[in-house]
Structure 1
Amino acid sequence: MRDPTVIAVVPAHNEEEQIGDCLHSLLAQTRSPDQILVILDNCTDRTKEIVREFPVDATATVGNRNRKAGALNQAFARCQEFDYLVSMDADSVLDPRFIENAIQEMEGSEQIGAVSGRYAIKDFGRLPLRRRIIHAVVQHEICFWDTLRMGNPGDALLACGAGSMFRVEALRQVGGWDIASLTEDNALSLDLRLARWRIVVGKRCYLYADTPLDFRLLWRQRVRWSRGVEDYKRRPLGRATYKGRLTNVYSWLILLWWVALVAVDITYRESFNPLWLLPLAGLYLERLWRFRFFPRVGVSNFILALPICEFFMILLWRSATIVGIYRRARHVEQW
């Protein structure tokens, strides 16, 4: 049986500060990709010069106005002879065994169209207090989301854009990345599932991604992510999409449940019964049980897992969803 061929594709737009670490992580893989292709997408900084220092191939986009999805689609024409394609962000860093482990997952079934990486947030070293708080919150949120996926890793909803491996045949069948979507990884995952390809979570496919440490930039990112619900509206309801729709409804129900708890507490505070806290205690213990999937656990995780902290996080991100819905109604695009 021949060894499958792998190409790693890295779209890069003004990534001079991050692209070096990204390429070092690819070159350090225990199973090296057969080709590394960097897509220079309208770069105006030193990204191109830095890429030239590495033994990788590079190509520039031509007239691309469709951001990351457009850059990946332009590069995909050069990937047809490969079996697997690793797509990763230029600000991500792969674990040294990422490709080796992803291939093992892929070889498990010909129905697997994508192996999603499991990602955590990079360690930025010493940071000002406000940025440390943002880093801790995002890290906790991402790790908690990962534990939800690990509940059923063989039937994942999303092949994360920060780093995933795709079967080239599957990408060819769905026509590549959807340029109409603001969340191209979510749209591609839906298209793969609609075409009856499986998406699995690579149980040992770790990577480390960047995150905005400025609240304004983080808010903009979350508003954009919330627009991913539009990908569902443009696709039929069925086996491939119902779980994602139910997950969205569930998150709103959780928020409403919290609001109801607050209302009951305010209304009946004089007749407060400590037994009312039992569901919250059970919820907290369930969150602690999920820590077994976290790459590392610190004091901040125990604090952020408290029900009151979780309530405020849900409230904040659901607010981002409302803003995203408003902007969609106003036909406002923001990357």
Structure 2
Amino acid sequence: MRVVALIPAHNEEETIDIAIDSLRSQSRPPDRIVVVADNCTDRTVEYAVAKGVEVFPTTGNTHKKGGALNQALARELPGLDDEDGVFVMDADSSLDDGFFESAIALLSRPRPGRHAADQGTRTAHAGRYGGIGGTFRGRDGGGFVGWLQRNEYARYARDVRRRGGRVLVLTGTATLFRVRALRDVHEARLDGRLPGVGYVYDTQVLTEDNELTFALLHLGYRIRSPKHCTLTTEVMPTWGDLYRQRLRWKRGALENCLQYGLTRHTFEYWFRQLWTGLGVVVIVAYLLSIVWALAVEGGVVLHPLWLAITVLFAVERVVTVRSRGALAMVVASVVFVEMTFDLFLQGVHGKAVLDSVTQRERAW
């Protein structure tokens, strides 16, 4: 298996060296590293050239990351074999050692005996792994909001490990794709079996990685994030940056569900959307009960139901950040700290739903 690593980069001079070094230090590094320089106005290209890697500048791209990768893939895929791999990695990420070795070993597995493709989307390669993604930790920095994101990422990684590597999304931070799978996506878009516009990535969606995951699943490919495929990535440094990022993620995921409809591949995604909505209702009811108690009853009465919910919430918050150490567990035990972040995320989810329903103009 030959592997070409693509690093889409828009003004990433501060982190591009770290990303390239983490690729080269792998026990099985990629055969080629290509920095996809998208409308860069800083020294990203200069630093990449100094590192001795290839640079592919985009031409007239107005479709952000998805458009940049489509241009690079249109150049690279014709020269690769079906069993080769394309690795896509964000320029602000850094791989842990062993990522490539683990991902290639899993991607090279033969197709299982039971055919996994749907009728009407059957391909000769369906049932095999189409993409192997990573789980990530948050990089240092960002103060309090950065701390909360690192806790969130630790919980996500724990959940993936407990699910045996089953994930809902192949993360854009680092994923190894089978070339045949990417070709199948391109061909399926052309003949109408898949929605979307673009060579491989759909350039009309907010969350191109989530949509590409849907596309692979609907073509019968499998996805995984094995325990040895880990990395670190950037956290949002301010509440404003985090708000804009998560609004795009949540609205994009919701619109991807609407785009594909309710199928056996999207059922769990729809369920999670509804579960998040239920969480918003529960939290609002919880807070309103406190406000009612203080305003009408003159004090908070420790009702057994809400007390039990509070205790369960606190225990779950502590246990799920155990990988981050004792200090993180102590901070997580303070219910108010973690609930602040959850309220923020649920508020963003509500805004995403409202924007989708009202068809508010979308922004990156």
Separation of aligned partners in 2, 1:271 and 1:46: 60
CA contact (8 A) 1:42 1:61 kept: yes
- In the TM superposition, 1:208-219 aligns within 5 A as 208-219=232-243
Q: Which moved more, 1:273-282 or 1:131-140?
A: 273-282
After superposition, the C-alpha distances for 1:148-195 in whole angstroms (9 at most, x for unaligned) are 333323432100111111111111111221111111111111111111
- Aligned residue number for residue 119 of structure 2: none
2:340 is the alignment partner of 1:285: no
- 5+ long unaligned stretches in structure 1: 125-130
Letter in 2 for 1:95: D
Letter in 1 for 2:94: V
- Aligned residue number for residue 113 of structure 1: 130
Which of 285, 297, 306 aligns to 1:260? It is 285
Letter in 1 for 2:39: N
Change (3 A) 1:256 1:97: same
Separation of aligned partners in 2, 1:184 and 1:27: 27
Q: Secondary structure at the match of 1:38?
A: strand
2:156 is the alignment partner of 1:145: yes
1:275 CA drift (Å): 6.8
- Aligned residue number for residue 251 of structure 1: 276
2:252 is the alignment partner of 1:205: no
- In the TM superposition, 1:1-335 aligns within 5 A as 4-80=1-77, 81-82=80-81, 83-110=84-111, 111-124=128-141, 131-175=142-186, 176-228=200-252, 229-265=254-290, 266-267=292-293, 271-273=301-303, 276-291=306-321, 294=323, 296-304=324-332, 306-328=334-356, 329-335=358-364
Letter in 2 for 1:317: L
1:199 CA drift (Å): 1.2
Instruction: Provide the alpha-carbon RMSD of the alignment.
Output: 2.1
1:41 CA drift (Å): 0.6
Q: What is the TM-score of this pair, normalised by structure 1?
A: 0.89
Separation of aligned partners in 2, 1:64 and 1:19: 20
Separation of aligned partners in 2, 1:236 and 1:252: 18
Q: Which moved more, 1:254-263 or 1:205-214?
A: 254-263
- The number of residue pairs the alignment matches comes to 324
CA contact (8 A) 1:9 1:39 kept: yes
Separation of aligned partners in 2, 1:157 and 1:305: 28
Separation of aligned partners in 2, 1:319 and 1:102: 36
After superposition, the C-alpha distances for 1:35-86 in whole angstroms (9 at most, x for unaligned) are 1111111111111111111121111111111110011111112332151111
Q: Secondary structure at the match of 1:32?
A: coil
1:233 CA drift (Å): 0.5
- Aligned residue number for residue 127 of structure 1: none
Separation of aligned partners in 1, 2:340 and 2:110: 41
After superposition, the C-alpha distances for 1:292-323 in whole angstroms (9 at most, x for unaligned) are 5x3x3242343235544343322211222233
CA contact (8 A) 1:255 1:311 kept: no
- 5+ long unaligned stretches in structure 2: 112-127, 187-199
Separation of aligned partners in 2, 1:135 and 1:7: 32
Separation of aligned partners in 2, 1:256 and 1:177: 35
Q: Secondary structure at the match of 1:182?
A: coil
Separation of aligned partners in 2, 1:123 and 1:61: 31
CA contact (8 A) 1:155 1:198 kept: no
Change (3 A) 1:47 1:174: same
1:274 CA drift (Å): 5.4
Q: What is the TM-score of this pair, normalised by structure 2?
A: 0.82
Change (3 A) 1:172 1:302: farther
Q: Secondary structure at the match of 2:229?
A: strand
